[in-house]
Amino acid sequence: MGATAFPRTQTQSFRGNEASFGEFAPFREWSPVMPVLHRTAHTLLWCLGCAAWVSSCASDSGTNTTSSQADGASTTNTASASSTASLVTSTTEGTGGFSASLGTASTTTLGGAGSLTAATSASTSSTSSSMGTSSSAASTSNAGGATVTGTDAGSGGAASTSVTASGGTGTGGTGPLGPTKVWIAGDSTVANGNTPCPTGWGKHLGQYLNDLVTIDNSAVGGRSVRTWLYNVTTEMDDATGECVLQRDGSGEPTLQARWQAMLDNMTSGDTLLIQFGINDGSATCDRHVGIDAFKESYGVMARAAQERGAEPVFITPVSSIACDGNNPRGTRGGYVDATIEAGEEYGVPVIDLHQLSVELYGELGFCPVPGGDVSAETSGPVGDFFCDDHTHFTDSGAITIASVVANALREQPLNLARYVNE
């Protein structure tokens, strides 16, 4: 059998024609390494091709579906963007070689509030997004209150995803500040009230926030959480021990206009502050709210805020002034614990204003209260802080409580924390 003739390689051609190099004779020194360079170039090209193929598959794998919630909110689900980082996002050729940038995924867990934010983004500059062939935006809300928002660019573009557990969307300090709105639900210790008395802390919170914040204080004196939310009758349901709610033709509770206005206008990036628990302990309807119904009502409000991309914050009821000798003591009983438990159950940040206010009264030396209780005749620091009872605040008292709330907000993993003045 005759020998098989193989084609000569380029390197062999160079070797076979050394005499023809002439003035380029120095290239003869490179001829032994030419096969290595040849294989290296092929390997690099193969790697780039594989990376491009994987990136294309990842960008094409998302599936968007849209469903309608019972309250009319639209929901969009994105299947894949949150799970994988972008692969090769940019390639720069230069003299003697190339470089590739790899996207990375990062996850930050914000302590104490059940809130987490995850971001996945490509490392290319913003101009590289023009290479993408398609893009989509998604926002997802599930029954547990979790919200997913993000954008998924097509091949060559950049992808980003934000995932929020049921604790809200707080980043605590990323991105430029833009206009934001604070919605407040509460009772007379929160309401704008009257000048000079009574006034709630919600009236004065704005002076501790920057000019980009708008406040809608819808707190109303004398309200429990349920009379603030719903139209409640004076009839007690013996089976549940709760006040009977008015219902529409479909059996759903009818809403107070203030809550409906929030539902209609609350948007992503807003904050909802909730403080009740002072009037809820009434033994009679319409204000009575049991502990379980109290926590359930807080959950209703939190989920509604989260579904709209807003961050709810639960605030324990501010304490009235009461003393054991020289020491102030708390006065709100089971509704303090119920607020904290609701925060844990629904993954919502909680500000323990009840404890903070008790500590404040001690620092200000309010105990013992002259005459044993606050009245219209009470003078001195206690008389300046409270109205003619032990619960409601004067303007100066409400301003001080507002500063306590603002300082507590600054310590929370919330978008609003960045708006609190130093």
CATH code of the domain covering residue 216 = 3.40.50.1110
Instruction: Give the model's confidence band at 42: pLDDT under 50 very low, under 70 low, under 90 confident, else very high.
Output: low
Asked if pLDDT for residue 193 goes beyond 70, the answer is: yes
Q: Which two tokens stand for residue 248?
A: 């529409």
Both 194 and 342 in one domain: the answer is yes
For the ranges 202-211, 342-351, 382-391, which has the lowest average pLDDT?
Answer: 382-391
Indicate whether 349 belongs to any domain.
yes
Give pTM, 2 decimals. Answer: 0.61
Both 81 and 198 in one domain: the answer is no
Task: List the domain range (segments joined by +) for residue 120.
Answer: 70-87+102-164
- H or E segment and range at residue 64: strand 64-68
Cis? peptide before 196, omega within 30° of 0 = yes
- Taken in order 264, 421, 161, 122, the sign of the CA dihedral is positive
Both 155 and 278 in one domain: the answer is no
Both 193 and 314 in one domain: the answer is yes
Q: How far apart are CA 89 and CA 103, in angstroms?
A: 7
Both 160 and 232 in one domain: the answer is no
Mean local confidence (pLDDT), 207-235: 98
Indicate whether 133 belongs to any domain.
yes
pLDDT-above-90 percentage for the chain? 54
Q: Is-contact 324 348, C-beta < 8 A? A: no
Mean local confidence (pLDDT), 187-202: 93
Both 368 and 407 in one domain: the answer is yes
How far lies 270's CA from each of 170, 208, 228, 333, 384, in Å? Answer: 10, 17, 20, 30, 34
Domain count, the chain: 2
Indicate whether 239 belongs to any domain.
yes
Residue among 101, 106, 81 at smallest CA distance from 90: 101
Averaged confidence pLDDT in the chain: 74
Both 113 and 184 in one domain: the answer is no
Indicate whether 117 belongs to any domain.
yes
Both 267 and 147 in one domain: the answer is no
Both 158 and 240 in one domain: the answer is no
Mean local confidence (pLDDT), 296-300: 98
Q: Higher-confidence residue: 398 or 1?
A: 398
Indicate whether 50 belongs to any domain.
no
Question: What's the per-residue H, E or C state across 44-113?
Answer: HHHHHHHHHHHHHHHHCCCCEEEEECCCCCEEEEECCCCCCCCCEEEEEEECCEEEEEECEEEEEEECCC
Both 124 and 189 in one domain: the answer is no
| Domain's final residue, options 134, 164, 194 | 164
Cis? peptide before 368, omega within 30° of 0 = yes
Both 255 and 146 in one domain: the answer is no
Residue type at position 192: N
| Domain's final residue, options 164, 199, 217 | 164
